[in-house]
Each structure stands twice: as C-alpha cells, then as structure tokens.
Structure 1
C-alpha cells in the first residue's frame, strides 16, 4: 500500500526547487544544448542541410525588444537562459508533471519527443514572430533542421536527467 501511495505521489510531483534540481537542470541542459548545436552547426551543414544560428534568433528577439543585441547577448540568451534554464524548467516544472498526471509515468522517449516538438513550435513559430521574422521562417530549410534539433534537445535532456537520477 505504501508503494502505491509513493508511486501516485511521484506521478504528480513537481521537483523541489533546490540546488540539486538546479544542478540537474544545468547538467542536462548543457548536454542537450550541445547536442542541438552539434546537430545544427556541424552535422546538418556537413550533410548539405541548413546551418542553424540560434544565437541569431536570440539577437533578433533582443533587438525587437529594444535590448542590447550583440553576439555575446545572443549566445548568452541561447546557451544559458534558454538551454540551461528555460527549456529544462519547461520540462521539469510544466510538461513532465502534466504528462505524468494525464498519461502516467510510463516511458520517457515519446514525451521527450513531444516536448522537443513543442519547443520547436514555441521557438520557430512563436519567438520568430515576436522577433519580427517571418512566421516559421517561411518554412525554409532551416526550419526542418531546427525541428530535428529541438526534438534532439528534448531527447537528450530527458535521457541525461534519467541517467543522473539512477
């Protein structure tokens, strides 16, 4: 009976906001962001596909908001604010708890792929529009490379979180 109670609590649980959770976010976000950048800036172009420039999107967003938008600011927003903090918060505190509540605690690959797809819609469909760029960047080649990159980010993020949790 105690295991059922603990299991149902873990299905609905939101992680505690403490140093351990922040460490998990930073480590998992680091590996996921590096996987995203490796795909988008090295592997994709070497296969003849588009070269991602996520810091360029961050620079455009900052500029549209009237904020400093130099290279440093773009990289800082992309890598640190989004990759290490924003997207991991989205998984740990929003998506995963809702997913577990609705679907249960079975599996991790499908929800991580769906999360990555959602990140792509958010970034390429939403942030580009706020930044004054065309909706979904007119569905150019970069959009599809970004789709793979965001799904890869989601998978790596959750895989690293699970590996650390063991």
Structure 2
C-alpha cells in the first residue's frame, strides 16, 4: 500500500507517543513564555487560556483549568498534528514544507480556541472582537504549531541517522 492514504499516518508506537509529548512540552514552554512574558509587554496583560477553560467548562478552580490546558497542549494537540493535520496536508497539499504545515496547524488551533471554544461555547465575541489580545493569541498559536512541527521533524531525522 505504498503511497496510499495509510502511508501518511505514523504507525502508533511508544516512539511516536514520545515524539508527541516532547513536541507538546517544547511547544507548551514556548507558548507559556510568549503568553506570560512577551504578550504582557505588547498588550498589557498575559494570555490566559485557563480562564477560557474555566468559562467553557464552568470550573471554579484555576489550577484544574491550568492542568487541563497543559494536558491538552502537551499530549492531545501534538497527537492531532501527527494523526490529523500532517496526514491531511500530505494528501491535500503535499508541496507544502513542514514549517508551513506547522504554522497552518497553529492557525487552526487559534480558530478552534477563539471561535469555537471562546465564541460558540463560552459566549464571548468571535475572536474576542479582534482586539490586540486576539493577535497575540494568533502569534502564540502559530509558534505552538511551528514548534510541534519542528520537534517532530527533528525526531524523525534522528530516527533515520
């Protein structure tokens, strides 16, 4: 089945899971630095995704919301890149380099966060009304997607060296 749709998906293994978690950890550290250090210098305050988690799910405890956001960022979003975004890109846009797929994935996560979660579920204005924080969030999500893609690419290269 060489070249078929299955060839675009990684074979699930501990190595793939390790790549996902390493990619997610690196991306989450990048996100947190952007959200809590750089963004406040630009917009006057940090990005607070845990507050969005609280709004969507009604959690009173910020620590639980932070934990949920961290698990999603470190485990589930990288798996989404590996098993959804990258395979779809390989089929639909095979000419795109890995870094563009990563940036596109980050943009998709931004749309998911600020339109679906913030607007449709939490009742906030779509994309928070396109305030400065919206654009800081876009850059943060693009960095997140780019770091996931870079770590996955690096781990794959190391596997063949």
Smaller-chain TM-score range? 0.7 to 0.9
Alignment match, 1:52: 47
Alignment match, 1:103: 93
Choose the corresponding residue for 2:74, options 73, 84, 89: 84
Residues 111-153 of structure 1 show CA distances to partners (whole Å, capped at 9, x for unaligned) of 1111111110111111002023222112222111100000000
Residues 18-39 of structure 1 show CA distances to partners (whole Å, capped at 9, x for unaligned) of 2222111111001101111111
Aligned length: 156
RMSD: 2.0
Any residues of structure 2 matched to 1:27-42 within 5 Å, and which? 27-42=22-37
Alignment match, 2:140: 149
C-alpha distance in 2, partners of 1:34/1:143? Answer: 20
Conserved? CA contact 1:128–1:136, under 8 Å: yes
Conserved? CA contact 2:40–2:46, under 8 Å: yes
Choose the corresponding residue for 1:72, options 63, 75, 78: 63
C-alpha distance in 1, partners of 2:56/2:99? Answer: 31
* 1:159 correspondence with 2:150: yes
Conserved? CA contact 1:11–1:100, under 8 Å: no
Q: If the length of structure 1 is used for normalisation, what is the TM-score? A: 0.85
Alignment match, 1:125: 115
Conserved? CA contact 1:26–1:85, under 8 Å: yes
Q: If the length of structure 2 is used for normalisation, what is the TM-score? A: 0.87
Choose the corresponding residue for 2:9, options 10, 14, 25: 14
Structure 2: segments with no counterpart, 5+ residues: none
Structure 1: segments with no counterpart, 5+ residues: none
